[in-house]
Structure formats: structure tokens, C-alpha cells
A and B are shown apart, each in its own frame.
Chain A
Amino acid sequence: MKLGLIVNPIAGMGGSVGLKGTDGRKVIRQARTLGAVPRAPARATATLEELVRVGAEFELLTCAGAMGEASALACHLTPTVVYRPASIETTAEDTRRAAREMRKLAVDLILFAGGDGTARDVHEAVGGDVPALGIPAGVKIHSAVFAVSPRAAGDLLAGFLRGRIGTMREAEVMDVDEAAYRRGQLATRLFGYLRVPYDPQLVQGAKVRSRSDDTAAEELARSVVARMDRETLYVVGPGTTTRRIMTLMGLESTLLGVDVILDGQVLALDVAERDLLRLVRDHPRARIIVTPIGGQGFLFGRGNQQISGRVVRAVGIQNVVVVATPGKLASLGGRPFLVDTDDEELNRTLAGFIAVTTGDRQEAIYAVGHGSGNAG
């Protein structure tokens, strides 16, 4: 197997010195001045060490210096260097170029160490073409493409390299607007999906692997479609679960945006809040279909800000349909859903318990908290 490794050496440097992310050269200089040291290379080494320890066999393709080569050499691996950054001060463009080069060389998986920004760059370069896995090394980890630790990344990867793990899941790539974030505001966007190795052991045991969460998601989508009412506007939020609903209906959809359908037809794709308010005003009967986003389980306020507090109020809280498979609920590890709309009173109203459609004639009652999660 051919493994590509991209290390974003500056990822995570801001965190230790109280900066929120390291996007932008000025911030990096600021971080260095404040005494920040790179942490991503060491974390990449920890993952590689795990692979070496379990005796996994692989060919390693990486970038020169701190972008991967150094991490490999630190655990006595001899990688093939396939990309050299122009300057020691690496940029997002370096990550993207390296990822494209690795796709060209047909690597089986791109392993990258960094944060949300790095995940975005990998996604922008190769999208869903090449499986990928993140080693968490950034300040911000909102994306679901990262293993929980460098060691866990090694564990997962060992399973992948040995062919024990062949299933992929689509995991959200999310990032915040860093400028706003440094001012203390949190606005997260969903940028797309990377294909990540999926180890059912993490959430599901060997006993039910035959009935994967994929099957459950398909059944869930079918039941939602089967129960759709006529002359009712459906505002469909982003997410793989909701996209499946659109696909099942044979409709075009935007992966990251909010789409609107009526009587089995697309009314509008990738709408903004303003459009939503207008459409909802014109249609007395409307529903919102949302699924929790990312590993933190946000229903509103992350990745779907178009469905603002005003939109939810216009549609009516009782017309919010939350969909999630039991596996997705289990993956939240007991944490409640979160809501963080621009309407604090609405957030308080939504807090408590909400009914979640989990399958055909199956519902769960799940807790909803409110607030900005672990944004601070």
C-alpha cells in the first residue's frame, strides 16, 4: 500500500500562545514571536511509530523537511519525497499541491497532520477522490475527519493497511472564519466531505457489522421520503443523512448548502437566509429537515446558519424534523445536541428534549443543550 503523508508544520502553533488558528502569515509570525513551537511533526511521528510498532507494511510518500520527511526520519523510516515546498515558511498552497501530487501518484490514502484548515486544503485539492485521515494537531478541530489521537490514527491506519478495515465513511470537513473567531465570534462552515476509514469497532461491534449504519441511513431516508406531505415546503439542511433523502427522490442537491423542495421537485438550491424567509412566507405549510452536524452534534448554528432563528420561527419549532441513525446518536457519546442560532431565546426554547426520527416508525427522544459548545 502507498501511504501519503502531509504535515502542516505550523498547525497548532497558535493554540499554546492563545491565538485561535494560524491562518495567515502575520499570525504565524505573531505566534513565533510569542514563543510557539511546531507540534504537528511530532504528532505525525507518533502515528508513524504506532504503524512501525505493529509491523504494518507500507510505502511512504511525503514532502520534504518539516512537511513530513522529518517526521518519518524521526522513526527511522525512509520515505520517498514527492513534493518540496518553495520556502521553509509553508503555506496552504503547499498542502494542496502536495495532495494533488499524491493523487497523481495513486496513493491509497493521504495521512495529514494539522487542523481544520489543513483538512480544508486536502479536501480542496483531492475532494473525495482519495481516502484521507487526519492526525489532530491543529488548534481548531471541528471536522470529523480526525482520529481522536495520533495513536488512534495509527491504530485505524494499521487496520486499513492490513485490509481489516475496508469501509469508508464520509466525514465532515468544517472550519470557522478565523478572523471572526479571533474576535470571539464563532461561525462554522461545512466545506465538504473526505472519505475516512471507518472502524466499526469504534462504535459498533462485530456482531452487527452486516447491518451497517449505511443500511440504517438508507432505511431512515426511505421512511422520511415516504412520509412527506404534499403542498408542503421542505427546507433540507446539509449533511450526508439529508443528502441521501434528496438522492433517493432523484433530486439534485447541494452538498453543503440548504435546499428547498416542494411536491417532489426542487424549488431552490443552496439558498440564503433571505430566500428561505421569502419562500417560507409564500408557503403556509413548511418543514425543516436537519441532521446533527459534525462530531459535536450541532442542530442549528454550525454549518447551516442559513436556517437562522428567524427561519426556524417562521416555519415553527413543531415543524422541525430531526433525522439521525441510532449509530450517529451513539457516536455523540452521550453529549446532547447543541443549538446556537442567532436567537438566544429560540436556543433556550429548543433546549430540553427533541424527537429524532431514527428509522421507519422509529423515534428517539434526545436531549438538546444550547450554547457554543467548546468554541472557547
Chain B
Amino acid sequence: MSVDTGGKVILREHFHQAAWNEPLIVELGRAGRRGVVPPDAGEELRSQVGDVLGGTPVGLRRRQPPVLPELSQPEVVRHYTRLSQMVLANNVAVNLGLGTTTMKYNPLINEVLSRSPKLTELHPAQDESTVQGILELLYRFGEMLSEISGMDRFTFQPAGGSQGILANALMMRAHHAANGQASQRDEVITTIFSHPANAAAPATIGFKVITLYPGREGYPELDALKRAVSERTAGLMITNPEDTGIFNPQIAEFVRVVHDAGGLCAYDQANANGILGVTRARDAGFDMCQFNLHKTFSVPHGCMGGAVGATGVQKDLTAFLPSPTVEFDGSRYYLDSRRPASVGAIRSGLGNVQSVLKAYAWVRSLGAEGLREAAHMAVLNNNYLAAKVTAIRGASLSFADENPTRRLEQARYSWERLAAETGVHTMDVHNRMIDFGVQGYFTSHHPWLVPEPFTLEPAESYTQEELDEFAAVLERVADEAYSDPETVKTAPHRSTAAAPVPRAQEHPAMTWRAFQELRRQGLV
């Protein structure tokens, strides 16, 4: 328990996570068991309907029924409830260590709103006249994000940050194609501390990717960018602040250099939680940007299911936005799909509109001043935590020697000294932390430029006591590393984190069937 004890943090020494030894669902149940047995349709109905499979082409019909789990309803309920108890979810554990992911509170009231039949009973293919409400919401939220970013139009179709970045890369290419320069401008510039999607997404559509490495102060030098730009430059795709929490103070100069070379600039705002209402993408000259509603705007993270990469552009680029766009003619809202310059649909429908609804509700509940206050609180929380973490033996803040400026909403630290002095590595610390009932931390995207990294992002919704508890857990584990390293290296002891299947890394299996095949071949 962590209660007010006059500043002293009492760790959860007796925490123990539920361990159910639960098999996979495909290993449960028994042949023939059913959770739901539909009633027989009856002779009359069968004769009326006829052969229901008759219209299905032979080639599309299964030859054998799928090998599905066969369980009763209570077995299914117990199985998934047990699994849910074996994770340190956002609503159970203090979860401020997953830097770059902005794990803030997801207001429960917004779950209620999004489960209203007014939304759940809608269908993407409904006539526009019957979905005016949700179209209005999408249109108005686009206006809000335009105000927040300085852009002119937004789309909510991309179902995640990487799709939003892909949309930006596609629009970049479409812009150069419109100027007859698509084949000439085939290089995208990014930085190693930007989110990896800024390199991956343009690469998937054929761009060559040039990555800038950080200078001594933790962000790339302007001269490195000047070395990278040329008449081949399609654009810059960059995160700022980068994953180190360091805001590139020369960002406007970066944009100018790329513009001078004829390129466009896309701002990945995945790390926007510390700059909402403080600085705007367009004011630094950016041409396009993307926000992750599932990070900055309080929407739960959803494994590409519930995520939204809200993508915005300045007015010269609106023609290239994915289709359809939501338009307003002064009296009614409608979808515009006749947009010949558009890069096309990034995904079906209008995107994860239930997530847009949650983000809209969050923004409306805070208002403009509230957003700015959230950003300030996130930065304050981060710097309060940084002061505590850097005081821990063996820990250090990356680039602090050359760049002592405050970090924004997150910071990347290093256990390099701890590892050298104790042999305890960053993943060992991570595995031990969860024994104290807090969620583990994120290390770093790859490659690890900062050795033995960990990245913390205490968003605005954590209390001072929670920050204190998290720091105290880190301090405790670091102390253990010096006094009793084996306890740390063999952790977790009170948690249920699963050990990976041996050799699974060499032979990853993405499905149960693929796993069985590998097992048959003796590869795992």
C-alpha cells in the first residue's frame, strides 16, 4: 500500500500476482462441447430458405470445418477472466514506465459514451442523411485538431500511428508526383530517435530512408541534415521531442533546410503530450502531422484495433488526403469520395470512430486551457520523476552531461553504471520491478544507442504519491542489484511474466497453427 506516510513510501512487499497456470484456449475443452447450441431451424424455414451455401463458389467453401476450441460458456468466462488477472493492466498497476506510449488515464465515462447504441448501432455503409451526428462530430474534431496543430484539415481514417505516418508518406509522394518529381524525389530523411515508423512506413512504399544520428546534445546537428538533403529529398519525417524527451531547439531551421531543398516536412506528434497548447506543428513550418489519439488524447491503446493516427495537412495538401473526407455544405454533412488527387483509402470506412468520440469527449471536458494545463502537468511530473531517478545509484539520464536542459514529457535513462558494477542489466531490473506491483518500463526502440536503456513517461494523470512509489521501486531494485544481484537476475518471483519458449526468437510463430507446425518440425 502506498498511503500518506509523511513522505515515506511503503512498497508493496506482499504483492503477488494471480498465477493460474492457464493453458491456451486451444488446449482446453473437449470435442463436441458447445457454449451455445442454436435451435433447429425447422422444416418450414429450411424449405423456405433453401440451400444457404448454394451461392458460395465451390473454391471458397471449406473442405473441413475449422479446428476451433470447443468449450462451455462458463469455461470461456473463467478462462478469459483468469488471463485478465495475469496482466498488470492500466487500471490495476501504476503504468508510467512505458515511455513513448503516453499511458495516461482513459476516462471510464468515455467508455460509457462510446458504448451508447447511438454509436454501436451505426453501420459504415449507412446513408449519410442517417449518420449526420457522427459526421458532425468527426468534422468538428478535425477543426479542433487543426486549431491545436495549426493545420487545415484532418482525417481519422488511419488506424494507428504507423498508418498515419504512411498516409503522410503517401501524400508526400503524391505532392511530388503532381509536380512531376515523383521519381526524382525518392529519399525520406528521419532521425534514429524518431519513432521507427518514420523510417519503416516510407520504406514500405519504396522510399530510400536516410537516418540522422544524434550529436553530443542528443539531437542531430543541423550540418548532418544539410549533408543529407539534396534534389532527391522528398521530405523529412521526424518526432519532436524525440524519444529521449529532448526537444530539438533547431526544429524550425530543420524545416527551412528541407523546404529550401524542395522537400516537405511531416511532424510525428506521438510525443505531443508535453506540447499541447504550447507549440504548434504549423508554426514551426511543418506541412503535415499526425497525432496518436490513443496516446495524447486519452483513448485506450488497442493493438491496432482502437487506435487512431489522426493525420492533418496544411491547405495546399488537402487534395491528397485519404478518401473519403467529411465535408460540410453549411446545412448538412456529407462524405466526398470524388477526389482524384487523393492517395485513396488508408483503410475501410472512416476509421475507428468510437475512439474519435472518446478523444472528442476528452478535449471537450478539458477545454483549451485544460489541454495546456495537462501538458504542463505532464512535463512537471516528468521532471519531478527525473530528479528522483537520477539520484538512484547506478542510474543516469542520457545525454545529461552535454545537455542538462530539462526533458519534456518523457526521458530516456541508462543503467550502464549499474550493469558495469553489478552485472544486472536493464531487463533484469524490469523483471524485478513487477514483483512490487507496478508495471515494468519500456527500454528503448532499436538499435539501443543509449546502453542499458529505460524510458519513463509519467503522464499528467499520475499523482505525486504514485511517482514516489514508482521511483522507490526503482531505487529498491537498484539497491538489490548491489547487495543481492541474483534476486534481481532471477526475477520475477511474485509475478506471472512468462518465460519465452526456447528458440522462439529464431523461429517466430504468429498463429497457433504456425506454432504447431514448428513444433512438428522440432524447431521450437
Q: Are A355 and B420 in contact (CB under 8 A)?
A: no
Q: Is A364 an interface residue (CB 8 A)?
A: yes
B399 to chain A: closest residue by CB: A334
Q: Are B213 and A365 in contact (CB under 8 A)?
A: yes
- CB neighbours (8 Å) of A329 from chain B are 213, 447
Q: Are B213 and A364 in contact (CB under 8 A)?
A: yes
Within 8 A of A (CB), among B199-215: 199, 203, 207-215
- Asked, given contacts A353-B223, A353-B224, A365-B228, whether A333 binds B208 with beta carbons under 8 Å apart, the answer is no
Minimum CB–CB distance for A84 against chain B, Å: 33
B contact residues, range: 35 or more
Minimum CB–CB distance for A43 against chain B, Å: 15
B450 to chain A: closest residue by CB: A334
Q: Are A361 and B203 in contact (CB under 8 A)?
A: yes
Q: Is A142 an interface residue (CB 8 A)?
A: no
Minimum CB–CB distance for B235 against chain A, Å: 15
Q: Is B64 an interface residue (CB 8 A)?
A: no
- Segment from A146-154, A282-290, A291-299, A315-323 that makes contact with B: A146-154
Q: Are A365 and B446 in contact (CB under 8 A)?
A: no
- CB neighbours (8 Å) of A202 from chain B are 451
- CB neighbours (8 Å) of A334 from chain B are 214, 216, 449
- Asked, given contacts A352-B227, A353-B224, A365-B224, whether A333 binds B451 with beta carbons under 8 Å apart, the answer is yes
In-complex Cβ contact of A352 among B199, B220, B223 (8 A): B223
C-alpha spacing A158/B490, complex, angstroms:
13
Q: Is A155 an interface residue (CB 8 A)?
A: yes
Minimum CB–CB distance for B194 against chain A, Å: 13
- Asked, given contacts A151-B420, A330-B448, A367-B213, whether A205 binds B208 with beta carbons under 8 Å apart, the answer is no
Q: Are B486 and A54 in contact (CB under 8 A)?
A: yes
A361 to chain B: closest residue by CB: B208
C-alpha spacing A302/B421, complex, angstroms:
31
C-alpha spacing A151/B422, complex, angstroms:
8
In-complex Cβ contact of B448 among A152, A155, A204, A354 (8 A): A204
Q: Are B420 and A149 in contact (CB under 8 A)?
A: yes
In-complex Cβ contact of A210 among B210, B215, B489, B508 (8 A): B508
B-facing mask of A188-209, CB < 8 A → 1, else 0?
Answer: 0000000000000111111111
Minimum CB–CB distance for B221 against chain A, Å: 8
- CB neighbours (8 Å) of B444 from chain A are 205
Q: Is B425 an interface residue (CB 8 A)?
A: yes
Q: Is A362 an interface residue (CB 8 A)?
A: yes
Q: Are A210 and B506 in contact (CB under 8 A)?
A: yes
C-alpha spacing A334/B448, complex, angstroms:
11
Minimum CB–CB distance for A82 against chain B, Å: 28
Within 8 A of B (CB), among A332-376: 333-334, 352-355, 358, 361-367
In-complex Cβ contact of A203 among B220, B227, B447, B486 (8 A): B447
Q: Is B262 an interface residue (CB 8 A)?
A: no
A-facing mask of B110-123, CB < 8 A → 1, else 0?
Answer: 00000000000000
C-alpha spacing A122/B423, complex, angstroms:
26
C-alpha spacing A101/B426, complex, angstroms:
39
Q: Is A50 an interface residue (CB 8 A)?
A: yes
A-facing mask of B430-458, CB < 8 A → 1, else 0?
Answer: 00000000000001101111010000000
- Asked, given contacts A209-B505, A352-B227, whether A363 binds B209 with beta carbons under 8 Å apart, the answer is yes
- CB neighbours (8 Å) of B220 from chain A are 365
- CB neighbours (8 Å) of B400 from chain A are none
Q: Is A65 an interface residue (CB 8 A)?
A: no
Q: Is B427 an interface residue (CB 8 A)?
A: yes
C-alpha spacing A2/B432, complex, angstroms:
32
- CB neighbours (8 Å) of B505 from chain A are 206, 209-210
Interface of A, helix, strand, loop or mixed by DSSP: mixed
Q: Is B23 an interface residue (CB 8 A)?
A: no
- CB neighbours (8 Å) of A361 from chain B are 203, 207-209
Q: Are B420 and A364 in contact (CB under 8 A)?
A: no
Q: Is B500 an interface residue (CB 8 A)?
A: yes
C-alpha spacing A218/B220, complex, angstroms:
28
C-alpha spacing A112/B209, complex, angstroms:
42
Q: Is A326 an interface residue (CB 8 A)?
A: yes
B228 to chain A: closest residue by CB: A365
Q: Are B446 and A364 in contact (CB under 8 A)?
A: no
A202 to chain B: closest residue by CB: B451
C-alpha spacing A154/B421, complex, angstroms:
12
Q: Is A327 an interface residue (CB 8 A)?
A: yes
A199 to chain B: closest residue by CB: B425
Minimum CB–CB distance for A205 against chain B, Å: 5
Q: Are A206 and B427 in contact (CB under 8 A)?
A: yes
Minimum CB–CB distance for A93 against chain B, Å: 35
Minimum CB–CB distance for B173 against chain A, Å: 15
In-complex Cβ contact of A204 among B209, B212, B423, B447 (8 A): B447
Q: Are B211 and A365 in contact (CB under 8 A)?
A: yes
A158 to chain B: closest residue by CB: B423
Among A148, A152, A361, chain B packs the most CB atoms within 10 A around the CB of A361
C-alpha spacing A201/B444, complex, angstroms:
12
In-complex Cβ contact of B208 among A149, A204, A208, A362 (8 A): A362
- CB neighbours (8 Å) of B427 from chain A are 201, 205-206
C-alpha spacing A50/B451, complex, angstroms:
22
In-complex Cβ contact of A367 among B215, B420, B423 (8 A): B215
C-alpha spacing A177/B215, complex, angstroms:
33
- CB neighbours (8 Å) of B227 from chain A are 352-355, 365
A-facing mask of B298-321, CB < 8 A → 1, else 0?
Answer: 000000000000000000000000
C-alpha spacing A366/B228, complex, angstroms:
10
Minimum CB–CB distance for B432 against chain A, Å: 15
- Asked, given contacts A155-B423, A352-B227, A365-B227, whether A204 binds B210 with beta carbons under 8 Å apart, the answer is no
C-alpha spacing A151/B444, complex, angstroms:
25
Q: Are B210 and A207 in contact (CB under 8 A)?
A: no
- CB neighbours (8 Å) of B485 from chain A are 54
C-alpha spacing A353/B224, complex, angstroms:
6
Q: 10 closest Cβ contacts across the A-B interface?
A: A330-B447, A155-B423, A353-B227, A210-B505, A361-B208, A209-B505, A363-B210, A326-B447, A365-B224, A364-B211
7 further A-B contacts with Cβ under 8 Å, apart from A55-B486, A205-B446, A326-B211, are A202-B451, A205-B427, A207-B446, A210-B508, A352-B223, A361-B208, A365-B210
22 contacts between A and B (CB under 8 A): A50-B423, A54-B489, A155-B423, A201-B425, A201-B426, A204-B446, A204-B447, A205-B426, A205-B444, A329-B447, A334-B216, A353-B221, A353-B227, A355-B210, A355-B228, A361-B203, A361-B207, A361-B209, A362-B203, A365-B220, A365-B224, A367-B221
